[in-house]
Amino acid sequence: MAATTRALVFGRWLADAIRLDLVGPKLRILDASWHLPKLERDAKAEFVQKHIPGALFFDIDECSDRSSVYGFMLPTSDHFSQYVGALGIGSDTHVVVYDTSDFGSYSAPRVWWMFRLFGHDSVSVLDGGLKNWLADGHPVTPECCTPERREFRATTNASWVKSYEDVLENVGTKQVQVVDARPVGRFRGVEPEPRDDIPPGHFPGAINLPFTSFMDASGKELGTEELSKRFIEAGVDLERPLWATCSAGITACHVVLAAHLLGRAGVCVYDGSWFEWFMRASPEHIISEGEGKRSLRLVMAATTRALVSGRWLADAIRSDLVGPKLRILDASWYLPKLRRDAKAEFVQKHIPGALFFDIDECSDRSSAFDHMLPTSDHFSQYVGALGIGRDTHVVVYDTSDFGSYSAPRVWWMFRLFGHDSVSVLDGGLKNWLADGHPVTPECCTPERREFRATTNASWAKSYEDVLENVGTKQVQVVDARSAGRFRGVEPEPRDDTLPGHFPGAINMPFTSFMDASGKELGTDELSKLFKEAGVDLERPLWATCGSGVTACHVVLAAQLLGHPGVCVYDGSWAEWFKRASPEHIISEGEGKKV
């Protein structure tokens, strides 16, 4: 009963407290409503129209880590302290949380858990939420109040929050039970997730207990006997360690609340939940009754990591998220014959908050060939100076008239050096401007961060590798140059290099992966391109071009189709033409002379 008393209060009790004028510094009522975007409900606007008398609005989005790409991840203790202090809450305040969900309770248990996580145990959920408050005839009002700020000092119980790394380790060890609170269809992978870019499914070993199963038909919490039966029937032993997950850490807290009501305090929450897991996990850790390993689900996983839209980035900039957790890089590079100065153009205008990534500077300057890969130490130093650390989401774009030209090269470099949290801005600056988003000449200087590169050397292929493959023909090699240069009938951009290709190469010009506007083609069109070119994505694949830049469009396209790890011949045609013997130069033009 002690746990029950702390965790739940009933409408009649709260109505009596309001009638006795107890709402104030010692008792605060919080409307913690949050609705899925697809519901098109504005929780804050609804609060202004009507709420429980004396209630204040708790904005879950605002009281979160706004720099995270996953949405309403936990704030820092300082952020939480400042936020709830502004709501007139101190260490001696009893907090009662409710929401306006049609379920009866949806997001309120998340805020209940947040208070407990940050060291404040005097917090309760209003059983049945506003739905039952109204059904029982209790009053609501549009009148708002402004409390006097109080001092609140959060002390975080960090062990209650689990990370992707914690859950990944547990997938292997199976030491902890993990309950997933999403509906059964989303858990199984047969009903859609509320976010268009995240398909459904679950991770290995998870147990499904939908959050609605903890409530009765009216939306009130089940009694302890019924709650105990739910856990037993699901095979969950409350005497063993237990973690909870869902889509984004909201309804997982219903599991924590139910366990707490049964005297099992301290159930942990995987804060990133399915949204983070799906973005980061490898295919074998995505379980779904959907279309299988190479299904749309995995294609969309790759898409989410590899591309971001202009609208997404514009929203991130408006939300002031650019900083240590999100860096935007202008990775423009032009062939000398175009006579465009990428760095000078950056100084004139760029996406707000962007920094310039110089492909030539971040390269092996000792090589006779252009912009060969740098060492891992060089890369680490260079990107660290751009304020990029291991927890930074990097978004890369360029200013090419194609829409995208050199950005995929830098995207691939980050992945090669062990940093998977990197995306290409779909359509580049060309589409950013076409969509009416802002640019600026204002430059910023980030604070250096530590970056430690770990090189996947197998992703970069050498002249010797390609020469051997010319003989063995074990690997497909796609050349991303234009058809004329590939055939040998149009000039190369370098005066000392003639056009053509090496034996066995398959031509897929990098522009063929984009539509007329310069945005990446959809997965159906990309798949069709590879099939028409005779490329089997289930077999090993390498990419080449003029000097290792546009080859990375092939890597990106394959990644979008769920095939990561396509390798790049770094020296590409510029090196091959210099080193290969004439019989290994195929051209409809004059070819190479001995």
Rg (alpha carbons) of the chain, rounded to whole number: 28
Asked about 545 being catalytic, the answer comes back as yes
What are the residue ranges spanned by the domains of the chain?
2-156, 160-290, 301-455, 459-584
588/128: higher pLDDT: 128
- The predicted model gives 520-527 an average pLDDT of 93
Query: pLDDT digit string (tens) for 172-203?
Result: 999 999 999 999 999 999 998 887 668 899 99
Q: Which pLDDT score is estimated for 292?
A: 36
Domain 2-156 has CATH 3.40.250.10: yes
Comparison of pLDDT for 28 and 585, the residue scoring more: 28
Contact status, residue 351 vs residue 435, Cβ threshold 8 Å: no
Q: Among 49, 166, 63, which residue's Cα sits nearest to residue 107?
A: 63
Give the number of C-alpha atoms closer than 13 A to the C-alpha of residue 489, restricted to the C-beta side: 4
160-290: in CATH 3.40.250.10:
yes
Condensed to tens digits (0 to 9), the pLDDT of residues 49-88 reads 999 999 999 999 999 987 776 667 899 999 999 999 999 9
Q: What is the CATH number of domain 459-584?
A: 3.40.250.10
The pLDDT of residue 344 is 95
Report the C-alpha gap between 20 and 17 in whole angstroms: 5
Backbone angles phi, psi at 8, to 5 degrees: -130, 140
Is the pLDDT reported for residue 279 higher than 80? no
pTM above 0.75, yes or no: no
Helix residue spans in 427-582 (DSSP H) = 428-434, 463-472, 483-487, 523-532, 551-560, 572-579
Per the residue annotation, which of 362, 545, 552, 567 is the catalytic one? Answer: 545
Do the first three CATH levels of 301-455 and 459-584 match, i.e. the same topology? yes
CA distances from residue 466 to 504, 508, 549 in whole angstroms, order as listed: 10, 18, 17
Biggest alpha carbon–alpha carbon distance for the chain: 100
Mean pLDDT of 143-149: 95
Nearest CA to 285 among 167, 418, 422, 162?
Answer: 167
Q: What is the pLDDT of residues 482-516, one digit of tens each?
A: 999 999 998 888 878 889 999 999 999 999 999 99
Residue 315 clears pLDDT 90, i.e. is over it: no
Q: How far apart are CA 6 and CA 8, in angstroms?
A: 6
pLDDT of residue 305: 67
d(CA 295, CA 297): 5
pLDDT band at residue 591, thresholds of 50, 70 and 90? low
Give me the CATH topology for the region 301-455. Oxidized Rhodanese; domain 1 (3.40.250)
Instruction: Give dist(CA 5, CA 427) in Å, integer.
Output: 55
